[in-house]
Amino acid sequence: MTIQTVATTPFAGQRPGTSGLRKKVTEFQQPGYLENFVESIFLTLGAGKCRHLVVGGDGRYFNREAIQTILRMAAAHGVERVLVGRGGIMSTPAVSCVIRKHACYGGIVLSASHNPGGIDGDFGIKYNTENGGPAPEKITDAIYEHTKTLSEYHISDAAPVDLDQLGTTRIENMTIEVIDPVLDYAELMKRLFDFDAIRALFASGFRMRFDAMHAVSGPYAKAVLEGILGAPAGTVVNGEPQEDFGGGHPDPNPVNAAELIAAMAGPDAPDFGAASDGDGDRNMIVGRGIAVTPSDSLAIIAANATVAPGYKGGITGIARSMPTSTAADRVAQALGISCFETPTGWKYFGNLMDANLATLCGEESYGTGSFHIREKDGLWAVLFWLNLLAVRKLSVEQIVREHWARFGRNYYSRHDYEAVDATAANAMMDALRERLPELAGQTLDGHHVSQADDFAYNDPVDGSTSTRQGIRIVMSDGSRIVLRLSGTGTEGATVRLYLERYEADSTRHDLDTQEALSGLAQVAENVSGLRRRTGRSEPTVVT
Ligand code: G1P
Ligand code: ZN
């Protein structure tokens, strides 16, 4: 075994996006592509700094190969010990949990989250810091700077490591511990939730369907729900992680998890349905005949936080990404706590949780989580709902309706225009940005604009500023139109249009969501020319 120095040249475009570097598998397979990025991570961390590391991925195509490369490079950069999930598997929330529990310097997560996998799909890599959360911008920017000037990388020529046997091996002076990827995570969940109450709920005949979408949460959900909590076998469906996620799109929303939505609408529907994404950090909550929006789920969890033992002392604050509906803000106001509005991406929540300013965080994109780790956490949200259902003894629909009756309903929808021409998308955003100063004060189709800006965030903890985080047009009745370009897409540009309308009157809580928002959608089109400029007659996906 020796450490090799390999000459390389930079690849363009290795700038990490909303959540790490995401590209087509074929791009990652180019010789040196992954190596350059990993070398840049180690150069950013600094020689000898990174002594203990966690490495795991969602099991998608190229996961195993990438892990072998990363291990050989870690050994070449003086890492002393690496914890790897068996089979190279570890959900994103579990990586965060393991980094924190074992006081590691950081972790490398291999995933493109909800993006499709397989040889024609996407792959991704991101670095998490010692708090267990995604690296902040100053680190991802530094990594990117290194990728632009790299001339060599360092790698051991050791043979591949057996990732399928628990136990310890070595490469050079580095110890590799292959660990059970579920154990530490399950133990943490036990401490947060009332497992006895949930066990009693299942024992009483309560039926659930958890759709793991052939992705990484399968083993976690099986171990926790069917194993520890005694849910009947078969509660978890599509529970074996596959390299191409069974050819599906592992994004838990009503469009991609249509099978679950159909099962929950049927005459013999289970009491509770849930799904999670490729790497296990997203969740969708479904009741009989009702899908809970992620924004509502965050608000409902916040309003009921004290039912779960891990939160019985109350919550200090809530944080939501800017496009997420303002339902949580109303709960925060009622509880007399702060609600922070951050840019899109979980990394912005890290400082707030570290400073104990926010206990619960959420994004409209099916991401919910808390300060127990520094990633969003799909199974955590599902367990929270189970705990809530076990304590309140109401149906999902009853809980949601009760919440709306108390706080009002925020009709909410996201319209995605995927893989549009990037030049047209940028021109649309630029033109709209220029019009913002004149929009405030105008009345658009009966909607009075009270605020129109490009969202900028000042982190209250470290003082850093992030600008151009999405255009928002806020109406005087609280309705909002938000437009931003995706930072995770891998083809052309993806435009996201977010629509929100608040309705206090409970006699008007039964409208169809798209109908309730159609007026705002028209205003959005009129001011942005989104469809006209991108040549699309309708969104690719509506959630
Ligand atoms: C999307 C979601 C965002 C989430 C991210 C990573 O990013 O919108 O909320 O944090 O995936 O899961 P986007 O493609 O919008 O940049
Ligand atoms: Zn994910």
Say how many Å lie between the CA of residue 57 and the centre of ligand 2: 11
Whole-angstrom distance, CA of residue 323 vs CA of residue 347: 15
Q: Which of 18, 22, 281, 420 for a ligand 1 pocket mutation test, highest count of atoms within 8 Å of Cβ?
A: 18
- 237-247 residue pLDDT tens: 999 999 999 99
- 170-222 residue pLDDT tens: 999 999 999 999 999 999 999 999 999 999 999 999 999 999 999 999 999 99
- Dihedral (C-alpha) 158, 159, 163, 166: value to the nearest 10 degrees? -70
- DSSP category for residue 207: -
User: Which ligand is closest in space to the CA of residue 109?
Assistant: 2
Query: What pLDDT score was predicted for residue 48?
Result: 81
Residue 297 beta carbon below 6 angstroms from any ligand 1 atom: no
Q: What is the DSSP string of 64-103?
A: HHHHHHHHHHHHHTT--EEEEEEEEE--HHHHHHHHHHTT
Report the Cα 21 to chain-centroid distance in Å.
14
Write out the two tokens for 329. 């803000």
- For the cut 90, the answer to whether the pLDDT of residue 491 exceeds it is no
Q: Whose CA is nearest to atom 8 of ligand 1?
A: 365
- 39-85 residue pLDDT tens: 999 999 998 888 999 999 999 999 999 999 999 999 999 999 999 99
Q: Is 522 helix (H, G, I), strand (E, B) or coil?
A: helix
- For the cut 90, the answer to whether the pLDDT of residue 528 exceeds it is yes
Q: Are 37 and 127 in contact (CB under 8 A)?
A: no
- DSSP category for residue 289: T
The residues facing 276 across adjacent strands are 283
CATH of the domain spanning 409-542: 3.30.310.50
Query: What pLDDT score was predicted for residue 109?
Result: 98
- For the cut 90, the answer to whether the pLDDT of residue 422 exceeds it is yes
- For the cut 90, the answer to whether the pLDDT of residue 18 exceeds it is no
**What are the Cα distances from residue 12, in Å, to 73, 145, 370, 479, 518?**
21, 11, 36, 40, 41
**What are the Cα distances from residue 336, in Å, to 124, 303, 332?**
40, 12, 6
Say how many Å lie between the CA of residue 114 and the centre of ligand 2: 5
- 447-456 residue pLDDT tens: 999 999 999 9
- 334-370 residue pLDDT tens: 999 999 999 999 999 999 999 999 999 999 999 999 9
Residue 113 beta carbon below 6 angstroms from any ligand 1 atom: yes
Q: Give the start-to-end residue ranges of the domains of the chain.
A: 3-181, 185-407, 409-542
Residue 321 beta carbon below 6 angstroms from any ligand 1 atom: yes
Mean pLDDT confidence for 244-268:
95
Q: Mean pLDDT over all residues of the chain?
A: 97
Query: What pLDDT score was predicted for residue 47?
Result: 82
Mean pLDDT confidence for 392-415:
98
CATH architecture of the region 3-181: 3-Layer(aba) Sandwich (3.40)
Q: What angle do CA 70, 172, 103 make, to 5 degrees?
A: 60
Whole-angstrom distance, CA of residue 79 vs CA of residue 86: 19
User: Which ligand is closest in space to the CA of residue 57?
Assistant: 2
Model-level pTM? Answer: 0.96
**What are the Cα distances from residue 541, in Å, to 372, 415, 422?**
32, 6, 18
Q: What angle do CA 276, 279, 282 make, to 5 degrees?
A: 40
Q: Which of 216, 281, 293, 365 for a ligand 1 pocket mutation test, highest count of atoms within 8 Å of Cβ?
A: 365
Say how many Å lie between the CA of residue 184 and the centre of ligand 2: 19
Residue 345 beta carbon below 6 angstroms from any ligand 1 atom: yes
Query: What pLDDT score was predicted for residue 75?
Result: 97
Mean pLDDT confidence for 299-315:
98
Same fold, 3-181 and 185-407: yes
Residue 519 beta carbon below 6 angstroms from any ligand 1 atom: no
User: Which ligand is closest in space to the CA of residue 489?
Assistant: 1
Closest ligand 1 atom, CA of 496?
15
Say how many Å lie between the CA of residue 487 and the centre of ligand 1: 7
Query: What pLDDT score was predicted for residue 490?
Result: 78
Which has the closest alpha carbon to 296: 105, 87, 500? 500
Which of the residues are catalytic? Answer: 113
Query: What pLDDT score was predicted for residue 488?
Result: 84
Query: What pLDDT score was predicted for residue 456?
Result: 98
Mean pLDDT confidence for 485-490:
87
Domain 185-407: which CATH class?
alpha beta
- DSSP category for residue 20: B
Residue 488 beta carbon below 6 angstroms from any ligand 1 atom: yes
Query: What pLDDT score was predicted for residue 73?
Result: 98
